Structure 1
Amino acid sequence: MAQRVETRDDGAAKTPPRPLWFLLTAWVLTLAGLGISIYMTISHFDKDSLVCSSGKTLDCHAVTSSKYSELLGIPVPILGLAFFVGFAVLVSPQALRSELPLLRWGRLASVSVGVLFVAYLMSAEFVLGKICTWCTAVHGITILLFVLVLFDEFRRIGQID
Protein backbone atom coordinates (compact mmCIF):
# COMPACT_ATOMS: atom_id res chain seq x y z
CA MET A 1 0.00 0.00 0.00
CA ALA A 2 1.57 3.27 -1.10
CA GLN A 3 1.10 6.53 0.74
CA ARG A 4 0.71 9.66 -1.33
CA VAL A 5 2.59 12.63 0.12
CA GLU A 6 1.89 16.11 -1.19
CA THR A 7 4.89 18.40 -1.49
CA ARG A 8 5.39 22.15 -1.32
CA ASP A 9 7.04 24.12 -4.10
CA ASP A 10 10.44 23.67 -2.42
CA GLY A 11 10.06 19.87 -2.47
CA ALA A 12 9.43 19.42 1.27
CA ALA A 13 6.46 17.36 2.42
CA LYS A 14 3.28 19.34 3.02
CA THR A 15 1.74 18.95 6.48
CA PRO A 16 -1.82 17.61 6.36
CA PRO A 17 -4.40 20.07 7.72
CA ARG A 18 -5.44 19.79 11.34
CA PRO A 19 -8.98 18.59 12.02
CA LEU A 20 -11.48 21.22 13.19
CA TRP A 21 -12.01 19.42 16.51
CA PHE A 22 -8.28 19.85 17.24
CA LEU A 23 -8.45 23.61 16.73
CA LEU A 24 -11.63 24.02 18.77
CA THR A 25 -10.39 21.82 21.61
CA ALA A 26 -7.02 23.59 21.73
CA TRP A 27 -8.72 26.99 21.95
CA VAL A 28 -11.38 26.00 24.47
CA LEU A 29 -8.75 24.45 26.76
CA THR A 30 -6.35 27.38 26.35
CA LEU A 31 -9.07 29.97 27.07
CA ALA A 32 -10.30 27.98 30.08
CA GLY A 33 -6.75 27.77 31.44
CA LEU A 34 -6.24 31.46 30.77
CA GLY A 35 -9.47 32.36 32.58
CA ILE A 36 -8.64 30.25 35.63
CA SER A 37 -5.10 31.64 35.69
CA ILE A 38 -6.41 35.21 35.61
CA TYR A 39 -8.77 34.39 38.47
CA MET A 40 -6.01 32.69 40.48
CA THR A 41 -3.65 35.64 39.88
CA ILE A 42 -6.29 38.05 41.20
CA SER A 43 -6.97 35.81 44.20
CA HIS A 44 -3.24 35.51 44.92
CA PHE A 45 -3.12 39.24 45.62
CA ASP A 46 -6.64 39.51 47.08
CA LYS A 47 -7.13 36.47 49.32
CA ASP A 48 -10.78 37.34 49.95
CA SER A 49 -11.67 36.87 46.27
CA LEU A 50 -10.84 33.13 46.26
CA VAL A 51 -14.02 31.07 46.21
CA CYS A 52 -13.30 27.48 47.11
CA SER A 53 -14.60 24.90 49.52
CA SER A 54 -12.56 24.31 52.64
CA GLY A 55 -12.37 20.95 54.27
CA LYS A 56 -10.03 18.29 55.53
CA THR A 57 -8.58 17.59 52.07
CA LEU A 58 -10.01 20.28 49.76
CA ASP A 59 -8.57 23.61 50.82
CA CYS A 60 -7.54 26.11 48.15
CA HIS A 61 -6.52 28.72 50.73
CA ALA A 62 -4.01 26.33 52.32
CA VAL A 63 -2.49 25.50 48.94
CA THR A 64 -2.45 29.00 47.46
CA SER A 65 -0.95 30.56 50.58
CA SER A 66 1.65 27.83 51.21
CA LYS A 67 5.38 28.17 50.66
CA TYR A 68 4.81 26.37 47.33
CA SER A 69 2.62 29.21 46.01
CA GLU A 70 5.72 31.01 44.75
CA LEU A 71 8.68 29.79 42.75
CA LEU A 72 11.85 31.88 42.95
CA GLY A 73 9.73 34.72 44.30
CA ILE A 74 7.26 34.59 41.40
CA PRO A 75 3.66 33.71 42.27
CA VAL A 76 2.68 30.41 40.62
CA PRO A 77 -0.54 31.89 39.15
CA ILE A 78 1.56 34.42 37.21
CA LEU A 79 3.64 31.56 35.81
CA GLY A 80 0.40 29.84 34.78
CA LEU A 81 -0.86 33.04 33.22
CA ALA A 82 2.38 33.41 31.24
CA PHE A 83 2.11 29.79 30.09
CA PHE A 84 -1.45 30.16 28.79
CA VAL A 85 -0.78 33.53 27.11
CA GLY A 86 2.28 32.05 25.40
CA PHE A 87 0.41 28.92 24.41
CA ALA A 88 -2.45 31.00 23.00
CA VAL A 89 0.10 32.60 20.68
CA LEU A 90 1.46 29.17 19.71
CA VAL A 91 -2.03 27.87 18.82
CA SER A 92 -3.15 31.03 17.04
CA PRO A 93 -4.38 30.41 13.49
CA GLN A 94 -1.27 32.07 12.05
CA ALA A 95 1.08 29.93 14.16
CA LEU A 96 -0.78 26.71 13.32
CA ARG A 97 -0.69 27.49 9.58
CA SER A 98 3.02 28.24 9.73
CA GLU A 99 5.48 25.58 8.58
CA LEU A 100 8.19 26.95 10.90
CA PRO A 101 9.61 24.10 13.01
CA LEU A 102 10.33 26.62 15.80
CA LEU A 103 6.60 27.09 16.42
CA ARG A 104 5.91 23.37 16.32
CA TRP A 105 8.75 22.61 18.73
CA GLY A 106 7.70 25.59 20.86
CA ARG A 107 4.26 24.02 21.35
CA LEU A 108 5.81 20.68 22.28
CA ALA A 109 8.40 22.24 24.61
CA SER A 110 5.88 24.48 26.36
CA VAL A 111 3.40 21.70 27.15
CA SER A 112 6.25 19.39 28.19
CA VAL A 113 7.50 21.99 30.68
CA GLY A 114 3.87 22.56 31.71
CA VAL A 115 3.38 18.87 32.51
CA LEU A 116 6.62 18.76 34.49
CA PHE A 117 5.45 21.81 36.44
CA VAL A 118 2.09 20.11 37.04
CA ALA A 119 3.98 17.12 38.49
CA TYR A 120 5.87 19.48 40.81
CA LEU A 121 2.68 21.24 41.92
CA MET A 122 0.81 17.97 42.48
CA SER A 123 3.69 16.74 44.63
CA ALA A 124 3.44 19.98 46.63
CA GLU A 125 -0.27 19.32 47.19
CA PHE A 126 0.62 15.79 48.29
CA VAL A 127 3.19 17.12 50.79
CA LEU A 128 0.63 19.63 52.10
CA GLY A 129 -2.07 16.98 52.27
CA LYS A 130 -4.44 19.49 50.65
CA ILE A 131 -5.95 19.79 47.19
CA CYS A 132 -6.95 22.99 45.42
CA THR A 133 -9.84 22.43 42.99
CA TRP A 134 -8.89 25.43 40.85
CA CYS A 135 -5.30 24.20 40.66
CA THR A 136 -6.51 20.71 39.76
CA ALA A 137 -8.57 22.17 36.91
CA VAL A 138 -5.46 23.90 35.52
CA HIS A 139 -3.45 20.68 35.96
CA GLY A 140 -6.06 18.75 33.98
CA ILE A 141 -6.16 21.38 31.24
CA THR A 142 -2.36 21.35 30.93
CA ILE A 143 -2.29 17.56 30.68
CA LEU A 144 -5.03 17.59 28.04
CA LEU A 145 -3.10 20.21 26.04
CA PHE A 146 -0.02 17.98 26.28
CA VAL A 147 -2.01 15.03 24.89
CA LEU A 148 -3.42 17.24 22.14
CA VAL A 149 0.03 18.45 21.07
CA LEU A 150 1.35 14.87 21.13
CA PHE A 151 -1.57 13.84 18.93
CA ASP A 152 -0.62 16.61 16.51
CA GLU A 153 2.99 15.41 16.46
CA PHE A 154 1.97 11.78 15.88
CA ARG A 155 -0.29 12.99 13.07
CA ARG A 156 2.80 14.41 11.40
CA ILE A 157 4.78 11.15 11.54
CA GLY A 158 6.12 10.46 8.10
CA GLN A 159 6.36 14.14 7.27
CA ILE A 160 9.75 15.74 6.69
CA ASP A 161 10.63 19.26 7.84
Structure 2
Amino acid sequence: MTFARRSVAQIILLVLSVIGIGVSIYLTYVHYNSGALVCTTSGLVNCERVLSSMYSVVPGTSIPISVPGLLWFLVSGALAAVAWLARPALRLVRLAEFAWCCVGLLTVLYLVYVELVRLHTICAWCTSLHVIILVMLLITVVSLYNGEGNAYDDEEDEEVLPSKAASRR
Protein backbone atom coordinates (compact mmCIF):
# COMPACT_ATOMS: atom_id res chain seq x y z
CA MET A 1 0.00 0.00 0.00
CA THR A 2 1.46 3.35 -0.92
CA PHE A 3 2.15 6.17 1.49
CA ALA A 4 -0.58 8.31 -0.11
CA ARG A 5 -3.31 5.69 0.43
CA ARG A 6 -2.00 5.00 3.92
CA SER A 7 -2.15 8.71 4.66
CA VAL A 8 -5.73 9.00 3.40
CA ALA A 9 -6.91 6.26 5.78
CA GLN A 10 -5.21 7.96 8.73
CA ILE A 11 -6.51 11.39 7.74
CA ILE A 12 -10.05 9.97 7.57
CA LEU A 13 -9.58 8.44 11.04
CA LEU A 14 -8.27 11.78 12.30
CA VAL A 15 -11.23 13.71 10.80
CA LEU A 16 -13.72 11.21 12.25
CA SER A 17 -12.02 11.59 15.64
CA VAL A 18 -12.36 15.38 15.46
CA ILE A 19 -16.06 15.06 14.58
CA GLY A 20 -16.51 12.65 17.51
CA ILE A 21 -14.71 15.09 19.80
CA GLY A 22 -17.04 17.88 18.67
CA VAL A 23 -20.22 15.87 19.25
CA SER A 24 -18.93 14.64 22.62
CA ILE A 25 -18.14 18.19 23.71
CA TYR A 26 -21.62 19.30 22.63
CA LEU A 27 -23.30 16.51 24.60
CA THR A 28 -21.14 17.24 27.65
CA TYR A 29 -21.97 20.94 27.42
CA VAL A 30 -25.71 20.20 27.20
CA HIS A 31 -25.46 17.89 30.23
CA TYR A 32 -23.73 20.41 32.48
CA ASN A 33 -25.62 23.48 31.28
CA SER A 34 -29.07 21.91 30.98
CA GLY A 35 -29.24 23.32 27.48
CA ALA A 36 -31.87 22.41 24.94
CA LEU A 37 -30.85 19.60 22.64
CA VAL A 38 -31.00 20.00 18.90
CA CYS A 39 -32.91 16.74 18.46
CA THR A 40 -36.43 15.45 18.10
CA THR A 41 -38.25 14.44 21.28
CA SER A 42 -41.04 12.32 19.86
CA GLY A 43 -41.35 8.78 18.62
CA LEU A 44 -38.46 6.35 18.50
CA VAL A 45 -35.85 9.13 18.42
CA ASN A 46 -35.81 11.02 21.71
CA CYS A 47 -32.40 12.36 22.66
CA GLU A 48 -33.68 14.08 25.77
CA ARG A 49 -35.04 10.83 27.23
CA VAL A 50 -31.80 8.95 26.53
CA LEU A 51 -29.53 11.71 27.79
CA SER A 52 -31.51 12.25 30.99
CA SER A 53 -31.79 8.55 31.86
CA MET A 54 -29.79 6.85 34.60
CA TYR A 55 -27.68 5.29 31.83
CA SER A 56 -26.46 8.68 30.62
CA VAL A 57 -23.85 8.94 33.39
CA VAL A 58 -20.91 6.78 34.38
CA PRO A 59 -22.30 4.39 37.03
CA GLY A 60 -21.83 5.72 40.56
CA THR A 61 -20.93 9.23 39.38
CA SER A 62 -22.53 12.30 37.89
CA ILE A 63 -20.08 12.29 34.96
CA PRO A 64 -21.96 12.15 31.66
CA ILE A 65 -21.15 9.16 29.48
CA SER A 66 -20.06 11.65 26.82
CA VAL A 67 -16.87 12.37 28.82
CA PRO A 68 -15.44 8.84 28.41
CA GLY A 69 -16.59 9.14 24.78
CA LEU A 70 -14.61 12.36 24.46
CA LEU A 71 -11.54 10.63 25.91
CA TRP A 72 -12.03 7.70 23.51
CA PHE A 73 -12.05 10.04 20.51
CA LEU A 74 -9.00 11.95 21.82
CA VAL A 75 -7.02 8.70 22.07
CA SER A 76 -8.28 7.65 18.62
CA GLY A 77 -7.15 10.95 17.15
CA ALA A 78 -3.74 10.63 18.80
CA LEU A 79 -3.30 7.09 17.44
CA ALA A 80 -4.31 8.24 13.95
CA ALA A 81 -1.84 11.14 14.12
CA VAL A 82 1.00 8.85 15.23
CA ALA A 83 0.17 6.32 12.50
CA TRP A 84 -0.03 9.10 9.91
CA LEU A 85 3.32 10.62 10.89
CA ALA A 86 5.18 7.32 11.24
CA ARG A 87 6.93 6.35 8.01
CA PRO A 88 6.87 3.49 7.49
CA ALA A 89 3.78 2.98 9.59
CA LEU A 90 4.41 0.88 12.64
CA ARG A 91 2.34 -2.28 12.79
CA LEU A 92 2.06 -1.86 16.55
CA VAL A 93 0.26 1.47 16.09
CA ARG A 94 -2.13 -0.11 13.56
CA LEU A 95 -2.86 -2.95 15.96
CA ALA A 96 -3.41 -0.45 18.78
CA GLU A 97 -5.90 1.43 16.57
CA PHE A 98 -7.72 -1.83 15.83
CA ALA A 99 -7.81 -2.90 19.50
CA TRP A 100 -8.99 0.57 20.57
CA CYS A 101 -11.77 0.49 17.98
CA CYS A 102 -12.81 -2.97 19.22
CA VAL A 103 -13.13 -1.53 22.73
CA GLY A 104 -15.20 1.28 21.25
CA LEU A 105 -17.44 -1.17 19.41
CA LEU A 106 -18.05 -3.21 22.57
CA THR A 107 -19.11 -0.02 24.33
CA VAL A 108 -21.35 0.91 21.40
CA LEU A 109 -23.03 -2.51 21.48
CA TYR A 110 -23.81 -2.04 25.18
CA LEU A 111 -25.13 1.49 24.66
CA VAL A 112 -27.31 0.44 21.72
CA TYR A 113 -28.68 -2.38 23.89
CA VAL A 114 -29.54 0.16 26.60
CA GLU A 115 -31.24 2.46 24.10
CA LEU A 116 -33.29 -0.23 22.35
CA VAL A 117 -34.03 -2.72 25.13
CA ARG A 118 -34.02 -0.66 28.32
CA LEU A 119 -35.18 2.76 27.12
CA HIS A 120 -37.08 1.82 23.93
CA THR A 121 -35.82 4.97 22.26
CA ILE A 122 -32.64 6.13 20.55
CA CYS A 123 -30.60 9.31 20.55
CA ALA A 124 -29.64 10.67 17.14
CA TRP A 125 -26.47 12.28 18.52
CA CYS A 126 -25.44 9.04 20.20
CA THR A 127 -26.19 7.08 17.05
CA SER A 128 -23.97 9.41 15.04
CA LEU A 129 -21.11 8.60 17.42
CA HIS A 130 -21.89 4.89 17.20
CA VAL A 131 -21.73 5.03 13.39
CA ILE A 132 -18.44 6.95 13.51
CA ILE A 133 -16.91 4.30 15.78
CA LEU A 134 -18.12 1.50 13.50
CA VAL A 135 -16.69 3.24 10.42
CA MET A 136 -13.39 3.76 12.23
CA LEU A 137 -13.26 0.07 13.10
CA LEU A 138 -13.93 -0.87 9.47
CA ILE A 139 -11.14 1.43 8.29
CA THR A 140 -8.67 -0.12 10.72
CA VAL A 141 -9.70 -3.64 9.66
CA VAL A 142 -9.23 -2.78 5.97
CA SER A 143 -5.88 -1.16 6.73
CA LEU A 144 -4.65 -4.26 8.53
CA TYR A 145 -6.09 -6.59 5.88
CA ASN A 146 -4.42 -4.66 3.06
CA GLY A 147 -1.07 -4.99 4.77
CA GLU A 148 -0.82 -1.45 6.04
CA GLY A 149 1.52 -1.20 8.94
CA ASN A 150 4.00 -3.82 7.79
CA ALA A 151 7.63 -2.84 8.05
CA TYR A 152 7.33 -1.71 4.44
CA ASP A 153 3.98 -1.20 2.77
CA ASP A 154 5.30 -1.56 -0.74
CA GLU A 155 8.52 -1.89 -2.66
CA GLU A 156 8.55 1.81 -3.54
CA ASP A 157 9.14 2.68 0.12
CA GLU A 158 11.88 0.09 0.51
CA GLU A 159 15.52 0.68 -0.18
CA VAL A 160 16.67 -2.21 -2.31
CA LEU A 161 20.04 -3.48 -1.25
CA PRO A 162 22.28 -5.03 -3.95
CA SER A 163 21.90 -8.52 -2.43
CA LYS A 164 18.11 -8.18 -2.41
CA ALA A 165 18.07 -6.86 -5.97
CA ALA A 166 19.97 -9.93 -7.18
CA SER A 167 17.61 -12.30 -5.38
CA ARG A 168 14.57 -10.64 -6.99
CA ARG A 169 15.76 -11.37 -10.52
Q: Which runs of 5+ in 1 are unaligned?
A: 1-14
Structure 1, residues 108-133: CA drift from partner, whole Å, max 9, x if none?
A: 11100001101001001012011100
Give the corresponding residue for 1:82: 71
Mean Cα deviation higher: 95-104 or 34-43: 95-104
Contact 2:57 2:64 in 1 (8 A): yes
Q: Percent identity, aligned pairs only? A: 31
| Structure 1 stretches of at least 4 aligned residues deviating more than 4 Å after TM superposition | 157-161
Root mean square deviation, CA, Å: 2.2
In 1, distance between residues paired with 2:122 and 2:22?
20
In 1, distance between residues paired with 2:98 and 2:25?
23
In 2, distance between residues paired with 1:124 and 1:89?
29
Give secondary structure in 2 for the equivalent of 1:48. coil
Q: 1:158 to 1:55 in 2, by over 3 A?
A: closer
- Select which of 32, 35, 44 maps to 2:19: 32
- Select which of 123, 126, 135 maps to 1:132: 123
1:50 aligns with 2:1: no
Q: CA deviation at 1:38?
A: 0.8
Q: CA deviation at 1:52?
A: 1.2
Give the corresponding residue for 1:12: none
Q: 1:102 to 1:160 in 2, by over 3 A?
A: closer
Structure 1, residues 83-135: CA drift from partner, whole Å, max 9, x if none?
A: 1111110001x433434444222211110000110100100101201110000
What amino acid is aligned across from residue 3 of structure 2 in structure 1? Answer: P
Please show how residues 1-150 of structure 1 align to structure 2 within 5 Å.
16-17=2-3, 19=5, 20-72=7-59, 73=61, 74-92=63-81, 94-98=82-86, 99-126=89-116, 127-150=118-141
What amino acid is aligned across from residue 129 of structure 2 in structure 1? Answer: V
Q: Which runs of 5+ in 2 are unaligned?
A: 153-169
Mean Cα deviation higher: 21-30 or 109-118: 21-30
Which structure is larger by alpha-carbon Rg, 1 or 2?
A: 2
Contact 1:42 1:49 in 2 (8 A): no
Give the corresponding residue for 1:7: none
